Chain A
Amino acid sequence: MICIVSMAYSQETKTTLSGYIKDATNGETLIGATAYVKDLSVGTTSNEYGFYSITIPTRGNYKVEFAYLGFQSSIVNLDLSDNLKFSLELAPEAAELEEVIITAEPEDENVTNVEMSVNKLDIATIKKMPSLLGEVEIIRSIQLLPGVTTVGEGATGFNVRGGSIDQNLVLLDEAPVYNSSHLFGFFSVFNPDAVKDVKLYKGGIPSRFGGRLSSILDVRMKEGNNKKLTVNGGIGVIFSRLSIEAPIVKNKSSFIIAARRSYIDILSKPFLPEEQSDSGLNFYDLTIKTNYTFSEKDRIFLSGYLGRDNFVFGEQAGFNWGNATGTLRWNHLFSDRLFANLTAYYSDYDYSLSFGDDTLNRFDWDARILNGSIKPEFTWFANPQNLVKFGGQLIAYKFEPGNAIGVSEGESQVISTDPRYALESALYIENEQEIGDNLTLNYGLRWSHFNFTGEGVAYTFGDVPLGERRPVVGFETFDQWESIKRYSNFEPRFSAKYQLDGTSSIKASYNRMTQYIQLVSNTTASTPLDIWTPATNNVKPMLADQVALGYFKNLKDNTYELTTEVYYKKSQHIVDYIPGADLLLNPFVEGDLLEGEGRAYGLELMFKKNKGKFTGWISYTLARTENNVPGINNNEWYPTRFDQTHNMSLTTFYEFNDRWSVSSNFAYVTGTPASFPTSRFEQQGYIVPYNAEESRNNVRIPSYHRLDIGATRKGKIDPNKKWYGEWVFSIYNVYSRRNAFAIFFQQTDGRPVLGEPSSTEAIKLSVIGNFIPSVSYNFKFN
């Protein structure tokens, strides 16, 4: 346990111990490793760049213990009579080269850390889970955590504590990723071979993060092995993966290149009729990163991601969509106690789609969201009791909601909606303060500002009865960077931990979040065509206030971990849509939006077993998410499409021996709400469903449950062999349950015959109708 005692000390006797903590096998920096001076009871954890700094109140010789979960701890005698820079490398536990010192410090982070509503999934755990078609999946894995849901199988993104998918800020090396999925929601864009660390903040969000209401998913990429060349790869049913990492200048510079490509199209080609041989689906992604250490004080990182999904219908038509991000970071140590990071990033999501017979008759359409940002951040290790972070961010956005050209018999017409521009900025400060032995606080303030600017046209809309399309009644033209509408908000953040005893604590948090851009989407699962749109003179930024309270308890020397949290979240200015809303290529889309409020509350339980041959967790969430949007559901509260009363998942791992291990997932989720008709009417011979109650999400579809199992056969670890291989077997949806994604209503059979009765039916759509076995082979070469 890191137990920091405040003590009186004078300026003269103080020294600072600082440095980096790394993985001995590949030189990767370790995030969240601890450094602890037992005699003085002072300690700290390494930051996102592996840097730590401890202020030593009294000079002298001390034993300092460095530890990280899954690694052998190291106790080092250090002469701290003066400021000391000390970096070290920790070896993974499995290596069993030296005597393993088991320490409790990092393992009870759950209880001792002031953070709450935060889930960390290490990539090794994610890799052990059984997965769909054998693909290691980050987004689907976090859906097994309490408070995280999805609207259904195959839907892109995830919902956190009742937030829609666009309320999650998904960061890949600090750059936002606007669409985190390949093939809709089946696979995420993150290549597991390139990912180092995944952290999800659901509440108590520190003031250094902002811009989304519900969560931050912070994905950090590996830096690349700076000791030796390593090749990782895998051959699966869907993807093949290959990554190469190696030092460029040993211990100073390294790189990683990781690529994946799907090959359903290549495999299926010989079986398609000739005229369809140009048709198919493929997706790929490429992740690269390099770094250079100039000195103990300066280090830079350059990372990039490029991914694309392509769907081709013969020569005439096709769709493609994808993200590209680039991040440049510079770490600088102003002093042993002041760490700075400057990030500059670029992120782009775009899609294009075309169809037509030939060049004289076609339709081409593309859309994108582009943004660049600069973000200076400072960490000041003020003293053992106070850790101060401050900084700011400036983001420039360009939204291109649609550039389209229709060509009809050679005549072309541009059908574009104007681009929109905006600047978002923020300043923040936060302090993590330890008061006495038992109380830790993290308090901060974020000030955010949004400037919706020209070049562009700002429309004003007239009033109509609620729920109808508002007509444009006026417009005004603005020049480049001329402000159309400004918003600013103060966002207080607060969390507190009170240590009850050595193994338990209670925590409380409050945060206010503001979101200035949102995804306009009216479909059950978000489509790749959905458009991001800024807050405008007609659309207000969304605001959310969340409080959470938690009890954390570890049992039997941290073998078991119990987490209990309750939360209540209230959102303002959330968006819904008029019936029949037209959201794409519509310059007047704001006239189709409705504004309302939301509330979400719930209880989350997680019981985890961390040690032994048998590990895993059970997670349970009891929750309610509702919106009230005037113009919908007779102006009454209605559950959102992803509201799930009960959401339970059980994830287990069992290691038989050094070679064989098995794993399983079981999920049970209450059926999501849907809108069902009550009646039907006839018009011009068509039989049309009608909801006489005008209600939204008035019925629930059947509950969802699914079991997956997996087994891994590891290769022999032989230090003399350069090749290591493992086989991964999995069965997804073991008992072939046809879980309902949605229920539809339709005329039973084709063409209605005039004057004859025609029947109507309800149809259950299951995205996956069977069990799906898979096998994949992963290898490592070094």
Chain B
Amino acid sequence: MKINSLAIALLALMLIYSSCEDPIIVQLAEAAPIITVDAWIDDRPILQEIILSYSQPYFDSTLVAGIDEAMVEVISSAGNTMTFTNNGNGKYTYDAGTEGIIGNINDTFELNVTIGDDKLSATSRLNPVPSIDSITQEFRTNEAFLDDGIYCNFFSRDILGIGNTYWIKTFKNGLYLNNPQEINLAFDAGFDSGSEVDNLIFITPIRELANEIDTDFTTIPWEVGEDIRVEIHSISNASFNFMETLRDQLLNSSNGIFAEPLSNTPTNIVSETGAVIIGQFNVASVSTLSDTIR
């Protein structure tokens, strides 16, 4: 989270009590569907998935329309070509468990997608990821804006060198905590490129995001017996910018009067015909630690 996003969200919270929100029906301009590439793969020996779909009108609440019958392959700098096979609904998979992991740290990868007459491509490098040393559990009481209960922190040290970017994911009983409020991104050990917190232990707000957070920004305590799993994914700077914009867009509504103008997520996918493409290709290395709440 950008520091300003956090500060602004806090400021906006101050105003919430006097303000009110009502659902409203608005007329939006029509736009043609745009090809969307959802290609986040990693170096673990598990099923890797790439999804191709079309964008749809904003208020269209149906499932996205997948693009089938495309050719999807990833070529590594080590010379391996991994073909992703179509399973319907726009899903393309490669089973790294049976066919071998996609590559090693510092390899670069090229994504090639052929849809009809258009060829899409993108590159990403497999960056290293720090290991997670521990997940701490603490019973916290009598804190402002925090219910009494067990809260977790994860501890890990950013890799030496300025400009490492990560996406930290927390799972509760095996389920990814996917509220926009729970998106946890780090630039080195801090929030963004402006803050030079190289090679530190991830700073407090980042390690505290290893908790369930409600859509009203309330942190929800863990129950005894629940499983927590934290994963750090190394992501490219481009993917970090993509996720940061994505998160800002999803949380903009909570910034109230301090909202920023709508801005589209950047993309690292290039079309041979010059068509506008949405989405991101990233190859991550992943470190994991699990624990049970006691």
Contacts and interface: CB of A to CB of B under 8 A. Distances in A.
Interface of A: 152, 154-155, 184, 274-276, 278-279, 281, 311, 313-317, 319, 353, 355-357, 361-363, 365, 402, 404, 406, 408-409, 411, 413, 415, 417, 468-469, 522-525, 527-529, 579-580, 582-589, 641, 675-686, 688-694, 696-699, 738, 740-747, 750-752, 755-769
Interface size class of B (residues with CB under 8 A): 35 or more
A579 B257 contact: no
Interface of B: 2-4, 7-8, 10-11, 14-15, 18-26, 28-34, 36, 38, 40, 51, 53, 55-64, 142-146, 155, 176, 178-180, 189-190, 192-198, 200-205, 214-215, 241, 244-246, 248-250, 252-253, 255-266, 276, 278-280
B189 to A, nearest CB: 7
Contacts, number: 290
A293 to B, nearest CB: 46
Contacts of A696: 261
9 contacts: A154-B257, A319-B10, A468-B266, A529-B11, A584-B7, A584-B194, A679-B34, A684-B40, A752-B178
A409 B58 CA distance: 44
Nearest to A750: B215
B198 to A, nearest CB: 8
Contact of A763 (B23, B29, B142, B245): B23
B24 A764 contact: yes
Given A314-B143, A408-B189, A744-B259, A688 B200 contact: no
Contact of B257 (A275, A404, A524): A524
Given A585-B3, A762-B25, A681 B261 contact: no
B30 A406 contact: no
A215 B20 CA distance: 33
Contact of A276 (B26, B55, B145): B145
A275 B145 CA distance: 8
Contact of B28 (A356, A588, A677): A677
Nearest to A742: B259
Given A584-B194, A760-B61, A763-B22, A523 B8 contact: yes
A769 B20 contact: yes
Contacts of B205: 355, 363
Contact of A319 (B11, B22, B23): B11
A685 B49 CA distance: 13
Contacts of B260: 522-524
Nearest to B57: A679
B24 A686 contact: no
A685 B34 CA distance: 17
B142 A583 contact: no
Contact of A757 (B61, B202, B256, B261): B61
A702 B263 CA distance: 22
Contacts of B200: 406, 408, 411, 413
Nearest to A412: B200
Contacts of A678: 28-31, 57-58
Contacts of B180: 686, 747
Nearest to B2: A582
B28 to A, nearest CB: 6
Contact of A582 (B22, B59, B194): B194
A683 B257 contact: no
**Residue in A316, A362, A746 whose Cβ sees the most chain B Cβ within 10 Å:** A746
Contacts of B179: 750-751
Contact of B193 (A319, A586, A679, A759): A586
Nearest to B188: A413
Nearest to A410: B201
A52 to B, nearest CB: 46
Contacts of B189: 406, 408, 413
A682 B56 CA distance: 9
Contacts of B28: 676-678, 699
Contacts of B263: 579-580
Contacts of A738: 20, 22
Contact of A765 (B21, B26, B29, B262): B21
A688 B10 CA distance: 23
A744 B3 contact: no
Contacts of A155: 257
A688 B201 contact: no
A407 to B, nearest CB: 8
A738 B18 CA distance: 12
Nearest to B261: A675
Contact of A680 (B55, B245, B261): B55
